[in-house]
Amino acid sequence: MPSSIPASSTAEEACSLDRFKKMIKSFGKNRYMAIGGTLIAIFMSLALFAPWLARCDPLAIDPVNRLHPPSFAHWMGTDELGRDVYSRVVFGSRTSIQIGFLVVFLSTALGLITGLAAGYFKRVDAIVMRILDGLMAFPDIIIAVTLAAVWGSGKLTLVLAMVTAYFPRMTRTVRAAAINVCDLEYVESAKSIGCTNFYIIRQYILPNSLSPIIVQAAFIFAAAVLSEAALSFLGVGIKPPTPSWGGMVSQGRTYLTIAPWVIVFPGIAIAMAVLGLNLLGDGLRDHMDPRLQF
């Protein structure tokens, strides 16, 4: 008789089953973050340990072994100058990471200043938002390409061009978060006891706006890696022979028909790094503040 099982035990069982299901679900939800984290860890360690991971000098030219297909000696084949594609992909991660970090750091700094000012001081808001509306009317890649080309080559100009393209996103995020926090009662109470604006921003607004800022930073990092590749591909980014993933695809496209490995591997590297950052951003957003899911 099935009903002979005590009721309490079924309930308990159902409860534990429920909990188990929930755990699986949350695991499934965070699995993206886990995959993203793993990809980022690989990406970071490639950059950190590049000299040990690379098997050859990424700049060493070997004209005898031009455009060799992947083999045991050259895991990802060789390019048009006989350079080891694998070593160049490994060292290319340094370029992407350096530029990505700088872009994230500078656009976060700029976004914080402008966003906090706009979110907290109503009078600044209108001016900042109009400028941002104008900036955001340009597709970001177009701002980056134009400025990088016009300002001339160099890592710094490249970074500044990309910061100009991406900081408006951070400003918007910071501003939205700041406005939300500004309406809360503790900010009002802080104002009423005579705290200075600077103190309120530092002690209340900033810490409470942190999670969307971190999420946005992950997405800007992803966008920066992707657009560094696009700029280098168009020839206005990192100049050869410095290994850069976008540059490798750009130089390899001439040999597309006879040596596809020259473009396939750097392309996979770009896609994986950006995928990892996007996954991390998505995961962080879900994890830190489920309300931000839209």
Partner 1 sequence: MFNFIIRRLLLLIPVLLVVAVIAFLSTHIMPGDPVIMILGDFAPPEKIAAMRLQLGLDKPLYVQFVIWAQHILCGDMGHSLFLNQPVTQAIIGRVEPTLLLALIGQSLGILIGVPLGILAAVKHRTWIDQGSIGISLIGISMPSFWLALLLIMVFSVRLHILPSSGYIPLAEAGFGTIKYLILPGVTLGFMQSAIIARMTRSSMLDILNQDYIRTARAKGLSEKVVVLRHALRNALIPVVTVIGFSMAVLLGGTWIVETLFNIPGTGALAITAIMRRDYPIIQGSMIFTAGIYVLVNLLVDISYAIINPRIKYG
Which of 75, 101, 105, 138 is close enough to bind partner 1 by CB under 8 A?
Answer: 138
Considering the rule CB under 8 A, would residue 274 count as an interface residue with partner 1? yes
Find where tokens 């002979």 sit.
Answer: 4
Please state, in angstroms and rounded to a whole number, the distance separating the CA atoms of residues 272 and 292.
25
| Closer of 204 and 233 to partner 1 (Cβ) | 233
Considering the rule CB under 8 A, would residue 275 count as an interface residue with partner 1? yes
Considering the rule CB under 8 A, would residue 162 count as an interface residue with partner 1? no
| Closer of 167 and 204 to partner 1 (Cβ) | 167
Pattern 23-62, binding to partner 1, x per CB under 8 A?
--x--x---x------------------------------
Instruction: Map 236-255 to HEC letters.
Output: CCCCCCCCCHHHHHHHHHHH
What type of residue is 176?
A: A
CB of 267 to partner 1, least distance (A): 4
| Closer of 14 and 126 to partner 1 (Cβ) | 126
Which of 81, 113, 264, 288 is close enough to bind partner 1 by CB under 8 A?
Answer: 264
Using a 10 angstrom Cβ sphere, with 0-12 exposed, 13-18 middle and 19 or more buried, the burial of residue 16 is exposed
Considering the rule CB under 8 A, would residue 234 count as an interface residue with partner 1? yes
Around 118, how many Cα atoms within 13 Å sit in the side-chain half-sphere?
A: 23
Considering the rule CB under 8 A, would residue 198 count as an interface residue with partner 1? no
Find where tokens 């160099």 sit.
Answer: 154
Please state, in angstroms and rounded to a whole number, the distance separating the CA atoms of residues 148 and 226.
15
Contact 157, 214 (CB under 8 A): no
Contact 215, 281 (CB under 8 A): yes
CB of 230 to partner 1, least distance (A): 6
Structure tokens belonging to residue 53: 């991971």
Note the residues at the interface with partner 1 (CB under 8 A): 25, 28, 32, 130-131, 133-143, 145-147, 149-152, 222, 226, 229-230, 233-236, 246, 249-250, 253, 256-257, 260, 263-264, 267, 270-272, 274-275, 278-279, 282, 293-294
